[in-house]
């Protein structure tokens, strides 16, 4: 039997580079990515940069950095190779083109709306020619007065449609005289209903929306218009995006209808809420992915955490597979396997930083010492092994191990155990130095040192021997044990630090 050919799954993430890559947008990227991967589909990155005033290359870079860090590679776009880079350079600044291409993850660059103006223009002209859109020359002041008047009458404000009936000569004259203008869609008065894959059926009365602006002029499309054209041209099958776009959907469907374009499926993801159940704001938690990256969270933990912002695994499925029914730890591959758009909740997703911290600690535990060393760019794996259990975040490493890697200055008092006399401590350090020096480098490990230094401690008192060694080796009040540190930093460095301590006490 020939199977019915299934429509290809094609999804996109369409960030506007008007701020640092937002956690919510990163989650949208993840859900789109998972949906594409589990359906053998295509995941597209489209930079929505038509708002020239607010768009900034630095935010664009941050989107690339973020996706790269998370490992969410997109599957399509302008090909990056020396050839295309050259042609890019022809159009823009050479430096910019070079830097940008370094930040892409795979073979492709992103689609950028500002590079697609010809496409939008074609469709805007179509609507104008068919009289389904029209030029509006109303001034900002007129529109504001209209708005106020409607509001005082208790009506929801919308454009009156005043310019709908301008005569062709009037339009031409105003266009020639450079009167400021926008292009509006003639919104039919009807009901638009769409089935949201997460939220169910949603209806809007377009009569309440009025004639929306779709472009500033034929080469300057506005958000709703550009999205519709791109989703169509890019053959997007499913629009998966944040709930804040629900209200845009009827506008976009109206544009599709006017142009006779097919309608994609829609799925609107729940808002991300702060622990006080308000929309996530900078006041309570860092809202950009960059901040978490810089704080020292692992990308694996962030991926897992974001997946749980609105989605939970199916307890039955988990149990069938022999996992705990409330399993929450999933790596990217497992998410591709288990994620299900149908299980995304409607209610807002609470951003729980404790959960992120917990997940991060779990993923840190999964890392091998040598992988962690690579991540931290530290050569001494033994030092990593010493402190890793106390790390919650990558950024904790410096605090825990900084002074083990590079000795810090400290005052001689740190070396004194309780109220032992200075001379006793000095003598113990000298004797320890003698033992350390006499120990062969091959035997310079905890086990052997425990026999020799350990014996000294038994004879002279644990605190009186171990404390000053530990303080001398770590330069800090709190640290791993003295012999562990000695083994980790090695014979030469141990001797050097003990000598420094002896000097401090002798002064």
282 is in an annotated binding site: yes
For residue 213, the minimal CB distance to ligand GLU (Å) is 16
Nearer to ligand GLU, 11 or 483 (CB): 11
**Is residue 245 within the footprint of ligand GLU (CB under 6 A)?**
yes
Q: How many residues bind ligand GLU (CB under 6 A)?
A: 7
Nearer to ligand GLU, 241 or 470 (CB): 241
For residue 248, the minimal CB distance to ligand GLU (Å) is 7
**At residue 286, what are phi and psi to the nearest 5 degrees?**
-65, 130
**Is residue 359 within the footprint of ligand GLU (CB under 6 A)?**
no
How far is the C-alpha of 77 from the C-alpha of 83, rounded, in Å? 15
SS (H, E, C) 438-470: HCCHHHCCHHHHHHHHHHHHHHHCHHHHHHHHH
**Is residue 32 within the footprint of ligand GLU (CB under 6 A)?**
no
What angle do the packed helices 117-129 and 249-259 form, to 10 degrees?
70
Nearer to ligand GLU, 16 or 474 (CB): 16
For residue 22, the minimal CB distance to ligand GLU (Å) is 8
DSSP 8-state secondary structure symbol assigned to residue 163: G
Those residues whose C-beta lies under 8 Å from the C-beta of residue 412, and which sit 6 or more positions away, are: 501, 504, 505, 507
Nearer to ligand GLU, 29 or 473 (CB): 29
**Is residue 498 within the footprint of ligand GLU (CB under 6 A)?**
no
**Is residue 48 within the footprint of ligand GLU (CB under 6 A)?**
yes
Nearer to ligand GLU, 55 or 474 (CB): 55
Measured CA distances, 224 to 6, 26, 75, 163 (Å): 28, 21, 24, 20
β-strand pairing of 238-242 with 265-269: parallel
Among 27, 184, 241, 497, binds ligand GLU (CB under 6 A): 241
Among 16, 220, 439, 494, binds ligand GLU (CB under 6 A): 16
**At residue 253, what are phi and psi to the nearest 5 degrees?**
-65, -40
Contact 181, 140 (CB under 8 A): no
Binding mask 63-82 for ligand GLU (x = CB under 6 A): --------------------
Q: What angle do CA 25, 29, 33 make, to 5 degrees?
A: 170
Among 9, 163, 227, 303, binds ligand GLU (CB under 6 A): 227
Q: What angle do CA 402, 407, 413 make, to 5 degrees?
A: 110
Among 9, 10, 15, 187, binds ligand GLU (CB under 6 A): 15
**Is residue 224 within the footprint of ligand GLU (CB under 6 A)?**
no
For residue 239, the minimal CB distance to ligand GLU (Å) is 6
Structure tokens at 123: 């469709």
For residue 76, the minimal CB distance to ligand GLU (Å) is 16
For residue 5, the minimal CB distance to ligand GLU (Å) is 27
Measured CA distances, 140 to 15, 146, 180, 181 (Å): 28, 10, 10, 10
Q: Let me know how long the chain is.
A: 507
How many Cβ atoms sit within 10 Å of the Cβ of residue 486? 27
**Is residue 211 within the footprint of ligand GLU (CB under 6 A)?**
no
Binding positions are 282
Residues that bind ligand GLU (CB under 6 A): 14-16, 48, 227, 241, 245
Binding positions for ATP are 282
């Amino acid at each position: 039997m020939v199977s019915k050919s299934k429509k290809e799954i094609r999804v996109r993430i369409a960030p506007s580079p008007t701020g640092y890559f937002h956690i919510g947008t990163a989650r949208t990227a993840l859900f789109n990515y998972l949906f594409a991967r589990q359906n053998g589909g295509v995941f597209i990155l489209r930079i929505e940069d038509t708002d020239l005033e607010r768009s900034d290359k630095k935010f664009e870079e941050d989107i690339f950095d973020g996706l790269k860090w998370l490992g969410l590679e997109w599957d399509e776009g302008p090909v990056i190779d020396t050839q295309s880079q050259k042609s890019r350079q022809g159009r823009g600044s050479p430096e910019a083109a070079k830097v940008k291409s370094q930040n892409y993850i795979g073979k492709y660059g992103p689609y950028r709306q500002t590079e697609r103006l010809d496409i939008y223009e074609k469709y805007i002209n179509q609507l104008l020619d068919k009289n389904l859109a029209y030029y509006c020359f109303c001034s900002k002041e007129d529109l504001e007065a209209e708005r106020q008047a409607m509001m005082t009458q208790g009506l929801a404000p919308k454009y009156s449609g005043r310019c709908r009936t301008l005569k062709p000569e009037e339009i031409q004259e105003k266009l020639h005289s450079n009167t400021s203008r926008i292009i509006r869609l003639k919104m039919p008065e009807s009901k638009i209903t769409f089935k949201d894959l997460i939220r169910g059926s949603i209806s809007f009365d377009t009569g309440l929306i009025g004639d929306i602006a779709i472009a500033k002029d034929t080469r300057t499309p506005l958000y709703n218009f550009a999205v519709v054209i791109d989703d169509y041209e890019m053959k997007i099958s499913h629009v998966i995006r944040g709930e804040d776009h629900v209200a845009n959907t009827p506008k976009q469907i109206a544009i599709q209808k006017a142009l006779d374009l097919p309608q994609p499926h829609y799925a609107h993801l729940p808002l991300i809420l702060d622990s006080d159940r308000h929309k996530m704001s900078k006041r309570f938690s860092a809202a950009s992915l960059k901040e978490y990256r810089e704080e020292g969270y692992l990308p694996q933990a962030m991926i897992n955490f974001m997946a749980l912002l609105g989605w939970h695994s199916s307890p039955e499925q988990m149990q069938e597979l022999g996992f705990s029914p409330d399993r929450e730890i999933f790596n990217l591959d497992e998410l591709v396997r288990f994620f299900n758009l149908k299980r995304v909740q409607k209610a807002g997703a609470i951003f729980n930083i404790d959960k992120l911290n917990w997940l991060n600690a779990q993923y840190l535990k999964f890392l091998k010492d040598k992988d962690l060393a690579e991540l931290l760019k530290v050569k001494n794996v033994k030092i990593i092994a010493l402190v890793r259990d106390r790390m919650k975040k990558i950024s904790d490493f410096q605090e825990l191990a900084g002074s083990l890697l590079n000795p810090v200055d400290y005052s001689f008092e740190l070396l004194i155990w309780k109220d032992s006399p200075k001379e006793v401590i000095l003598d113990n350090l000298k004797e320890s130095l003698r033992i350390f020096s006499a120990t062969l480098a091959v035997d310079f490990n905890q086990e052997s040192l425990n026999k020799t230094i350990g014996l000294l401690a038994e004879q002279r008192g644990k605190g009186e021997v171990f404390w000053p060694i530990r303080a001398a080796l770590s330069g800090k009040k709190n640290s791993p044990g003295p012999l562990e540190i000695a083994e980790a930093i090695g014979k030469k460095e141990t001797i050097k630090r003990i000598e420094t301590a002896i000097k401090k006490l002798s002064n």
